[in-house]
Structure 1
Amino acid sequence: MSGQYQAIIRHYEDCLAQFGDSHRGVDWPNAADAAKRYRVMLDLIRPSTTEKTLLDLGCGASHLYAYMLDHDVEGLRYAGLDASSAFCALSRKKYPQNEYLCLDVLADPTRLREFDYVVMNGVFTEKREMSFSDMFDYLQRMLAVVFEKTRCGMAFNVMSKQVDWERDDLFHVSLDQLTDFIAKKLSRHYIVRNDYGLYEYTVYVYKEHNGWPTS
């Protein structure tokens, strides 16, 4: 499986080259659904009296940050991470005030430092030519690395199995299979969101039952 996920990165770079800085440039079919995903990702965050750090892993063109600005989201210090140098360059040009990490997390996990929250929107929704087994292995490896560097919680989305038909290039995951891995290897404190009208679901995984660390 080593390196196969690089094809997913190249696919998104092809989308950017074809469609530019838009929802289609990060391979979301329409802007309204993309905005809905940003809202659901941010619902991960628990109320707090202090500023928290947020890592947008797979940030693409920083459309989540644009959503935060448009909706006056406060109390979060945003940072972006992407394995694609093209997307990192675009995001840095748009928002030079933000921190951006151009990093393949699996290739160099030691460079990933801790954040209070991490969101991974669209990182696991497409498997392209990868087999289901290889993609699920990629997901498990990524989540294990990222959750270790997460102080409060993380969010990610995958395609649902409760659909009329499945696309071969998308990653449709059984809820039982996914939550079995989460509960056994990551945390028993998780929430599954399947209430926002798209053919996918989002999972929040927390370190503690109330979303806060013990120290």
Structure 2
Amino acid sequence: MDKSTNEKFKAFTNKFFATKNITDSYKDVQWGSTESQKIRFQYICKLFEKDQSNDITLLDVGCGLGHLYDFILEKNYNNIRYSGLDIQKDFIEFAKKKHPEGNFMNKSLFELDADKHYDYLVASGTFSVTVPNENMKIFLEESVEKMFALCNKGIAFNLLTTRMPSEYIGTTETHFNPVEILDMCFKLTNRINLYHSYKPNDFTILMYK
């Protein structure tokens, strides 16, 4: 992604998620409910839940307030060494205070060093908000390519699906055709899982090296 486009995405994201009073709830990060957060986290964590390795490194792209880290601790994934990444500075500062043992970074995915790798990278809800006058499919493709380049083992991300009744598709949200996204992912690897049954408006893709 070129620098000017990256700066535009950062500016929009900061404005979109700006809040004067962080309550550490799903509302701060504009999810529908705590339950919808957790079911998505459940499928995101399928990426690494069977990995019994010690000291697994994980980067959460668009980590918000660190709610995925809360979920990981709740589920006792004791072999995960978590890092969180988010453009919204207030979210990162809050997450640092909540989890001082965690590693939280206030920058975009495209500002990460190319030689900094993690075993797994995940993104939950990161690609759901539409940035005006931008091609969100290109943004997604560039993001997935970047995530896959930075992983040692695999990546996972969830998206809103077009395979749902049209009246539920919002104007500020980006919905993706799962078949088209699968074709995109197969350019990088043939080791792919797709889950499209856990919610009517959402799907999760796991990609492995």
Q: Give TM-score, length-normalised by structure 2.
A: 0.88
Q: Tell whether 2:207 aligns with 1:202.
A: no
RMSD: 1.8
Count of aligned residue pairs for this structure pair: 201
Shift of 1:140: 1.1
Structure 1: runs of 5+ lacking an equivalent? 208-215
Shift of 1:112: 6.8
Q: Tell whether 2:69 aligns with 1:65.
A: yes
Fraction of identical pairs, as percent: 23
Residues 65-214 of structure 1 aligned to structure 2 (within 5 Å): 65-106=69-110, 108-110=111-113, 113-131=116-134, 134-165=135-166, 166-184=169-187, 186-207=188-209
Shift of 1:200: 0.9
3-state secondary structure, aligned to 2:176:
coil
Residue number in structure 1 paired with 2:59: 55
Deviation per CA, 1:52-110: give whole Å up to 9, x if none: 1111111110011111222222221111111221111111111111111211222x242
The AA in structure 2 aligned to 1:61 is L
Q: 2:39 aligns with which of 36, 39, 45?
A: 36
The AA in structure 2 aligned to 1:172 is H
Q: 1:8, 1:127 within 8 Å by CA — same for their partners in 2?
A: no
Shift of 1:130: 4.1
In the aligned structure 2, how far is the partner of 1:77 from the partner of 1:59?
14
Q: Give TM-score, length-normalised by structure 1.
A: 0.86
3-state secondary structure, aligned to 1:43:
helix
Structure 2: runs of 5+ lacking an equivalent? none
Relative to structure 1, is the Cα distance of residues 139 and 159 closer, same or farther in structure 2, using a 3 angstrom cutoff?
Answer: same
Q: 1:60, 1:88 within 8 Å by CA — same for their partners in 2?
A: yes
Greater mean deviation of Cα atoms: 61-70 or 42-51? 42-51
3-state secondary structure, aligned to 2:36:
helix
